[in-house]
A and B are shown apart, each in its own frame.
Chain A
Amino acid sequence: MTTSTIGFDIGTQTIKVIILNNKTRQVVARTQAFAGFDPAQALKTAVEQALKTANLTQTDITTFATTGSNLETYPYPVITVSTMSALTKAGTHFFPQAHTIIEVGAEEARAVKCDDRGLMVDFVVNERCAAGAGAFIEAMARALEVKMEDMGPLSLEAERASSINAACVIFGESDVVSLIHKQEPKSEIARAVYDAMADRVSAMVHRLGVNPQVVLVGGVAKDVGFIASLKRKLGVEVFIPEFSEYAGALGAALIGLTKSGGNKN
């Protein structure tokens, strides 16, 4: 029986779980669940579902590794991996040439710089406000009465962007309202939302230096509107792995596997 490792990433909105085959290091299952009010229970449900998908039982699992926000207690014996280390590991796993790895999640944006050996040498985290993170898109979509998943494609229709201030989600929302009152086209406002976010994220990345290859992961890495804006702001190609939102969970699993020595099996 092949043994496996489970990595999970406790995010502010969703919990991501992946199962990694210890030998092949291939992802054999992934699930996610809304974190909600009882994240420990949500985690358990997500893990059980992932095990079912992979056709495994808990006894096949040699290692549990966790990253993201720490829970007080876990239903499993876990190895804790810092978000930044998990991010570095996952980014360089997908793209060995990566030197800058950016993660934009629901409420946090962060970036790491790594050297040629794939070791993290510096990192930054966004300031307290969520204006550089996914929650910003959500709030703005609400103001524009657009579904969140339609925001990206809508923004791509714009030829120019309106201008909004992304210092803060709440003030950003009032900027959007005044643009609506000025009857600016929805698409241009949508693009302005992404530009403002990308401004914040790129300012953060510039503190580390924009060192190619630049990799983008996290839930927001699936948003075409944000990707387009970020590429414009950084002026370089941005590489995005498949299942980018599982980067943290994958990084945790890979580090957990190494730490526990489970790959010897």
Chain B
Amino acid sequence: MKNQPQQQQKKEAKTVELKKIMPETTQKEIDTLNPTLKAASEQIIAQTLERLKKINPNRPKEMEYFDEMANLFGKRVEELKQAQAEGKKIIGYNCIFAPLELILAADAIPVRINSGWYDTSKLGDRVVPVEVCSIIRSTIGAKMVELSPFLELSDVLITVLTCDGMTKLSEILGEYKQVWGLSNPRIKDSEQALKFWNEEIKQIKTNLEKLTGNKITVKNLKPAILKTQKATKAFRRLQNLRKDDTVISGQDALLVTQTYMWDDIDRWTEKTNVLCDELDRRVQAKEWICPSDTPRVMITGTPMFWPDNWKLPSLIEEGNPRGILVADELCSSERLLYDPVGIDEWTMNDMLNAIGERYLMACTCPCFTSKDGNEDRINWLLTKIKDHKIQGVIYYVTRGCMLYAMEYTTVKRALDKINIPVYYLDTDYTREDTGQLKTRVEAFLEMLNAQIDI
């Protein structure tokens, strides 16, 4: 605590005058490309939602809310603008390490800013080489043409330095937005690591207080923690409905968890509970979404972002043969929500430590290692496989995503031991390889089918 003012000074000194547009583009180009890409994206969002309705005529009625929230240029953007006009701060974040509870306690609004747009990754190629991970390139491209309302509206970005891509993305975006770099240790199980991390969290707290002018106290932090705890509870309720014969498609469940990244958390929790009520009734009525011998698939790997990067879930659930996605281990979905902040005593110190622990210790990101490798992730995968009765795992990696690519070998070995087939599927932010991927996903599902038949 003692050296905090010094740290603060150091970070403040970094603040430089921010540029408006990237040198790799011109205002004129932004003026043409922005509306074109926005219109194309709105069309894709509408088409995907139409398809989800078509493939499942008996789709839960309560999905309607999430369909509306899925419009990245819709209602939520207006709400954020309104809140901002009323003086609220919007905090963009690139990674689930960003402590949402502190943001909420400071009466600011968290939104995740990672881009799922394919087209903007091509624009990002002007700034960084094509070998760089597509999420990074696409996020850079989105900034270039100001496509992402969430990124544009952010007053500050919390950029977590998990992988090389995110670290350098932080620098690149830092020229246009104020960024608070949040550095995470790579080894969790040491006292120094947790101590270091807790200091980082406290720094974010100080930064937030300064930006918003709202002091974070027991009085506002407790309800913030309760808020995310409730969200976690609703999410787990949805998860429990996917552990056996299921009444919701994987794509719908994925859409629900994705919207958490930008929706109002209280409302999201309420709507998720309402959806679960409907799903509970369907379980009672045994209105299963697919025959019980449909192969049960889990996805793990690089995060997947709405709206464009939806090809894998749709190939799994709409191909021939069909599979059912019943779980994932993605930081853009289930990892986002599973763990609550566990509090012993509602004191400031305890709460801050609990937040620190929740974000560091519970995380299964491949940026971590230990003497037994990233054992938390392996154990978590094995638990999920058991709980959700998974029959096959698709290990999805976007090119340039080194951490996930390299951790495949360890995951494969662990899953081989328990005889769970796992398929490594690498792709990029492009639509053109869908045919190729279809062949692979279908072969994998055929393989699972053949094993189920026996």
Contact = CB atoms under 8 A, between A and B. Distances in A.
Interface centre among B320, B433, B446 (most CB of A within 10 A): B446
Given A70-B435, A127-B426, A128-B433, A121 B442 contact: no
B320 A83 contact: no
Given A125-B440, A127-B426, A128-B433, A84 B447 contact: yes
A82 B433 contact: no
Given A70-B435, A119-B450, A85 B421 contact: no
A123 interface: yes
Contacts of B451: 119, 121
Contact of A121 (B433, B438, B440, B447): B447
A80 B320 contact: yes
A69 B443 contact: no
Contacts of B454: 117, 119
B439 A123 contact: no
A53 to B, nearest CB: 29
Chain A interface mostly = mixed
Given A121-B421, A122-B421, A123-B423, A83 B447 contact: no
Contacts of A117: 454
A144 B451 CA distance: 47
Interface string B286-320: 00000000000000000000000000000000001
A209 B49 CA distance: 42
A125 B433 CA distance: 13
Contacts of B438: 70
A135 B433 CA distance: 19
Interface in B400-454: 421, 423-424, 426, 433, 435-436, 438-440, 442-444, 446-447, 450-451, 454
Contacts of B442: 82
A120 B435 CA distance: 21
Contact of A123 (B320, B435, B436, B443): B443
Contacts of B446: 82, 84-85, 120
Interface string B147-180: 0000000000000000000000000000000000
A80 B423 CA distance: 21
A83 to B, nearest CB: 6
Contacts of A119: 447, 450-451, 454
A170 to B, nearest CB: 14
6 contacts: A80-B320, A120-B447, A121-B421, A123-B444, A124-B424, A127-B426
